[in-house]
Structure 1
Amino acid sequence: MDVIIKALGLLADPTVILGMMAAAIYGLFVGSVPGLSATMAVALVIPITFFLDPVPALAIVMSLSAMAIFAGDIPGALLRIPGTPASAAYADEAFKMTKKGEGARALGIGLICSAFGGVVGSLVLLFAAPSMARIALQFSSYEKFWLACLGLTAAVAVSQGRWSKGALSLLFGLAVAQIGLDPVSGQLRFTFGIPSLSGGFSFVPVLIGFFAVPEPHSLCGW
């Protein structure tokens, strides 16, 4: 508890608070623009933090990342286009609430859940990080394989009873992910002689594009 109290005292510094506010505004802008992820925002601000003390630098990075992830809910609720990959899971539900005139409620729920999840996650990491690290060190290729299978199964399970469509979308996504260089052998896969496909497709543009495809029809029906 002494360490936590000292940490809170360091965060109460006016310079740290101003830096966190500036980072939050910047993260709000980056996260609300589809295609600009929280990772990209952090990568752009990292060179600036080299000239700061450790406490303000870490506070700025954490505030920027948290706000950018939440701000991805804004285009998800208004346009059904998630601003960040984290907002893709509930972009459809938030957009439906917006069409019913409950856009502010959808964003409010996203803000409260984001803040609650961040606080709980930080507390879990604070007290359980050593135990989690020991478990992670015991992971071999077998555990990683079954963990990946669990993630793929969950992608089908969230298709709301339309298992065939969920499985078809999963297979299509796996096919798109095969395009580019093989990470093991370095061989080109499914590029069809097009040099621009050698790098494959980035996750964020593909995610935003697939969410945006049905929007003209949806907006016309609105």
Structure 2
Amino acid sequence: MDRPDPAPDQARDRGPGARALVAHESMFGNTRLVADAVARGLERAGVSTDVVDVAEAGAVGPTVPDYDVLVVGAPTHAFSLSRASSRAQAIEQGAPLDHEERGMREWLAEVPEPPPGAHHAATFDTRVTKVRHLPGSAAVKAARILRRHHYLVEDAPRSFYVEDLQGPLVAGEVHRAEEWGAELGAAQVARGRSPRA
């Protein structure tokens, strides 16, 4: 369901409705499935949504503040966002070669601060079920970075679970992701009925 990276003009000229960007890093396709489900939920709530893979999303960074909502998702590597070394290990286990250089950590470092106003963000990650009770996650780290960039991260970081390193997603997780996306979308639509803070 990945859509082409939105060009700057496209990001700004989408009409008066709420707009969301779902950016994801996905080594084995599981996080992408969650991102697509979140996007479906946002769309269901009436929020126009673009989905981008950060490994291919170099051009989209400058346009991020043009969106009302930014949702980012990544796999948890060593209880945090991936690094080049952990992505290299994933490639050794079958992940695509083009995913080694750029992950969510690098993409977030390039995201500019939004202009003054309430720019909302939410984060999620995918984690192997057997470590679900251990502390630290990609979503928590991403939320900290976004707060430093002055995004409002009000919803708690979410984790979606896979059965093993390469997947598949645990039964019911895609539905749970879509419902969460619908909740995020409904909240944004409600905010849009009053002037932006």
Task: Decide: shared fold, TM above 0.5.
Answer: no
Taking CA–CA contacts closer than 8 Å with sequence separation of 6 or more, which of the two structures ends up with the larger relative contact order?
A: 2
User: Radius of gyration: which is bigger?
Assistant: 1
Richer in strand (by share) = 2
Higher normalized helix content (fraction of residues): 1
